[in-house]
Amino acid sequence: MEISKVEIVFTPLSEIQEADRNVKDHDIGSIHESMNRFGFTSPLLMNEKTGKLVAGHGRIETLKQKKQFNESPPANIQVDEESKEWLVPVIRGVSFRNDEEAQAYLLADNRLVELGGWDTNALIEELEKLAEESSLQGTGFDEADIQAMYEDLEAKVSEGTDKGLPVGKPSYEIIFDDETQQAMFFEFVSWLKKNYDGETVGERLYQHIEICLGD
């Protein structure tokens, strides 16, 4: 069945064909946790010319494992009442000029996400808030990741390499006399976060100084 327009078609899991070559590794354990928490939220993408996937290999592998181990289907996966086959949402109607273009898209679909990077300070804040109010399960992050990010930021500050500010915003380097001063500074930054509602360290520090100086 060839689709002439782009649409989502629920397709039997056993009929979905993977690409001939996919060089991207996947953390299947993390994908399992994500599906357990959020369900199946991102449809696969099929090349209409070949009937093979160009995006979603980690997700399809995870689904196959879940079915093999007799787990319940994740939310948004339908089940055929007669065959008990899992029906997976697949984006259909997208065709690539040739196999080389399809393979190029497969690589781009993975690589472009990697190139984006993170706003580390904002990421830490979001993860800490999520950990306090809900859970990190299924996000791909854990407490060890947060600690590692803090350590990386501390190393950048001590090396004077952590700028990380939008163009036009002033930045300052703090030079510590010893590790004790540095440790106390980071303890102070953590205290600011707990006691002020500013979006950034700079805003919280400003609030603190404003209170200390008075009117």
Q: Which of 42-46, 139-143, 181-185, 210-214 has the highest mean pLDDT?
A: 42-46
Share of the chain above pLDDT 90, in %: 56
Q: Name the phi and psi angles at 11, rounded to 5.
A: -120, 135
What pLDDT band is residue 166 in, cutting at 50, 70 and 90? very low
What pLDDT score was predicted for residue 173? 62
Range of the domain at 54: 7-116
Listed as own residue / partner, the contacts of 195-204 with beta carbons closer than 8 Å and 24 or more positions apart are: 200/121, 201/121
What pLDDT band is residue 161 in, cutting at 50, 70 and 90? low
Count up the domains in the chain and report the number: 3
Spatial distance between the Cα atoms of 93 and 151, rounded to a whole number of angstroms = 47
Statement to judge: residues 111 and 28 lie in one domain: yes
Statement to judge: residues 91 and 143 lie in one domain: no
E strand intervals along the chain: 7-12, 44-47, 52-55, 78-79, 86-94
Query: Is the pLDDT at 79 greater than 60, yes or no?
Result: yes
Statement to judge: residues 195 and 213 lie in one domain: yes
Among the three residues 94, 116, 138, which one is the final residue of a domain in this structure?
A: 116
Statement to judge: residues 213 and 153 lie in one domain: no
Kindly report the average pLDDT of the chain as a whole number: 87
What digits encode the pLDDT tens for the residues 198-207?
777 778 888 8
What digits encode the pLDDT tens for the residues 36-77?
999 999 999 999 999 999 999 999 999 999 999 999 999 999
What pLDDT score was predicted for residue 182? 72
Question: Do the domain assignments include residue 210?
Answer: yes
What pLDDT score was predicted for residue 168? 42
Question: Do the domain assignments include residue 123?
Answer: yes
Statement to judge: residues 94 and 136 lie in one domain: no
Statement to judge: residues 65 and 112 lie in one domain: yes
Question: Do the domain assignments include residue 112?
Answer: yes
> With the C-alpha atoms ordered 33, 36, 37, 38, is the resulting torsion angle positive or negative?
positive
Q: Which of 59-68, 142-151, 161-170, 182-191 has the highest mean pLDDT?
A: 59-68
- The mean pLDDT of 158-176, rounded to a whole number, is 55
- The mean pLDDT of 166-182, rounded to a whole number, is 63
